[in-house]
């Protein structure tokens, strides 16, 4: 084994390094018991079957016996109950020695119901965020419609992000709590996307740098994340990828700022390209300049948004 190959595992290789045989080994295998999508969705298109899934979801302490599950659903006709349970078994429900339990697919159906993504269509009138625009200093407002939450400035028009936020996230939360949850969700979405994992389907996410056009943040230079499997898309200012970088976190901590609890829309380098400069496009070399209390952090990233250097200097 050569020195370059020593200690290298398949997980260390890039997609370009893998042969066709490698791709077969790490890819999706032939499915011998797959259910066509139309049939899979048809299986849960029944109130009794959804009640069965919800009863299993609410059960505590493991498998549920047939008699207990029947009682929880409340369907008097035992034959009908058995019929509907049988339709769910294998695809959404597992039958084991001690009774029945949800499969992962069944749990996802219940979570989708609780999230309200398919059943609820709430809309919130614009309300104040409580923070000021990073461009003009006027108050930001948030609005919610069609499963999307957006933050922008009504005075100068600067956008501070518009991303998906399931209706379930609005339940039992004050407006301040909704904004806090939204901030954490945006961080999570982009952290996964930057690392090449689609937050919707876990497929392979491809990141590219786009120097032209505008995204939901109204920036020109931006990062585009696109899933090769489900085509889910996310865009962001380049700086947003730095929120979880230890050098950037430490720089802010040294200046009394907890980056983990500071909403991203308060940070100009997260919502604009004003502090971003392109040093090279082949390969990509991008610098993000962050200034705090007379000290500067110069963060250098490559085309995959990997932090390759972080230099601190006094102004």
Given a cut of 60, whether residue 31 has pLDDT beyond it is no
pLDDT band at 32 (very low <50, low <70, confident <90, very high): low
Given a cut of 80, whether residue 272 has pLDDT beyond it is yes
pLDDT per position as a tens digit, 63-116: 999 999 999 999 989 999 999 999 999 999 999 988 999 999 998 899 888 888
Whether 109 and 138 share a structural domain: no
Helix 66-73 × helix 78-88 angle, to 10°? 110
* CA gap 22, 12 in Å, rounded: 12
Residue 66 lies in a domain: yes
* pLDDT of the residue at 311: 97
Whether 235 and 272 share a structural domain: no
Q: How far is CA 167 from CA 106, 113, 308, in A?
A: 20, 10, 38
Whether 200 and 283 share a structural domain: no
Q: Considering only 11-25, 176-190, 294-308, which range has the smallest mean pLDDT?
A: 11-25
Residue 159 lies in a domain: yes
Residue pair 209/244 in contact (Cβ under 8 Å)? The answer is no
Whether 256 and 233 share a structural domain: no
* CA gap 145, 126 in Å, rounded: 10
Find the CATH number of the domain harbouring 61: 1.10.10.10
Residue 7 lies in a domain: no
Whether 83 and 136 share a structural domain: no
Whether 268 and 188 share a structural domain: no
DSSP letters, the chain, are: --TTTTT--GGGS-GGG--HHHHHHHSPPPPSS---HHHHHHHT-SHHHHHHHHHHHH--SS-B-HHHHHHHHT-S-HHHHHHHHHHHBTTTEEEETTEEEE-HHHHHHHHHHHHTTTT----EEEEEEEEE-TTT-PEEEEEEETTEEEEE-TTT--EEEEEE--GGGGTT--HHHHHHHHHHHHHHHHHHHHTTB-TTT--BEEEEEE-SS--TT--SSEEEEEETTT--EEEE-GGGGGTT-HHHHHHHHHTT--TTTS-GGG-HHHH-STTEEEEEETTEEEEEEEEETTEEEEEEE-TT--EEEEEEEE-
* pLDDT of the residue at 215: 63
Whether 173 and 87 share a structural domain: no
Whether 234 and 249 share a structural domain: no
Given a cut of 90, whether residue 134 has pLDDT beyond it is yes
Note the pTM of the prediction, 2 decimals: 0.78
Given a cut of 50, whether residue 122 has pLDDT beyond it is yes
Listed residues 224, 239, 254: the one ending a domain: 239
* CA gap 240, 221 in Å, rounded: 12
Given a cut of 60, whether residue 1 has pLDDT beyond it is no
Tally of CA atoms within 13 A in the half-sphere of 217 that contains its CB: 28
Listed residues 210, 239, 268: the one ending a domain: 239
Residue 19 lies in a domain: no
Q: What rounded mean pLDDT belongs to the chain?
A: 87
Q: Considering only 124-133, 164-173, 216-225, which range has the smallest mean pLDDT?
A: 216-225
Show the tokens assigned to 251: 């720089």
Whether 133 and 193 share a structural domain: yes
Given a cut of 90, whether residue 254 has pLDDT beyond it is yes
Q: Considering only 2-16, 148-162, 293-307, which range has the smallest mean pLDDT?
A: 2-16
Residue 5 lies in a domain: no
Whether 82 and 128 share a structural domain: no
Residue 201 lies in a domain: yes
* CA gap 14, 133 in Å, rounded: 40
* pLDDT of the residue at 187: 95
Whether 132 and 228 share a structural domain: yes
Whether 235 and 253 share a structural domain: no
The domain of 92 spans: 37-115
* pLDDT of the residue at 310: 97
* pLDDT of the residue at 266: 97
* pLDDT of the residue at 137: 96
Residue 210 lies in a domain: yes
Listed residues 85, 115, 145: the one ending a domain: 115
Q: How many domains does the chain have?
A: 3
Residue 61 lies in a domain: yes
Given a cut of 70, whether residue 27 has pLDDT beyond it is no
Residue pair 48/80 in contact (Cβ under 8 Å)? The answer is yes
């Amino acid at each position: 084994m050569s020195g370059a190959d020593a200690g290298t595992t398949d997980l260390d290789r890039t997609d370009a390094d893998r042969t066709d045989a490698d791709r077969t080994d790490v890819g999706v295998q032939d499915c011998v018991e797959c259910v066509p999508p139309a049939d899979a969705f048809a299986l849960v298109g029944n109130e009794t079957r959804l009640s069965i899934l919800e009863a299993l979801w609410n059960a505590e302490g493991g498998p549920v016996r047939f008699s207990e599950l029947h009682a929880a659903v409340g369907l008097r006709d035992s034959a009908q109950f058995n019929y509907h349970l049988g339709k769910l078994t294998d695809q959404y429900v597992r039958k084991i020695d001690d009774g029945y339990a949800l499969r992962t697919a069944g749990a996802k159906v219940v979570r989708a119901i609780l999230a309200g993504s398919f059943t609820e269509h709430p809309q919130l009138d614009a309300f104040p965020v409580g923070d000021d625009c990073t461009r003009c200093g006027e108050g930001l407002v948030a609005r919610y419609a069609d499963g999307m939450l957006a933050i922008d400035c009504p005075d100068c028009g600067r956008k501070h992000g518009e991303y998906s936020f399931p209706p379930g996230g609005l339940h039992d939360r004050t407006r301040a709590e909704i904004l806090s949850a939204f901030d954490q969700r945006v961080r999570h979405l982009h952290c996964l996307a930057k690392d090449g994992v689609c937050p919707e389907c876990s497929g392979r996410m491809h990141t590219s740098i786009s120097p032209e056009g505008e995204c939901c943040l109204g920036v020109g230079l931006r990062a585009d994340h696109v899933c090769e499997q489900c085509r889910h898309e996310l865009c962001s200012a380049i700086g947003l990828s730095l929120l979880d970088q230890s050098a950037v976190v430490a720089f802010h901590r040294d200046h009394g700022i907890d980056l983990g609890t500071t909403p991203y829309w308060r940070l100009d380098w997260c919502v604009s390209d004003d502090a971003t400069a392109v040093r090279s496009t082949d390969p990509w070399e991008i610098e993000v300049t962050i200034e705090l209390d007379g000290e500067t952090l110069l963060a250098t990233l490559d085309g995959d948004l990997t932090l390759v250097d972080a230099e601190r200097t006094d102004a």
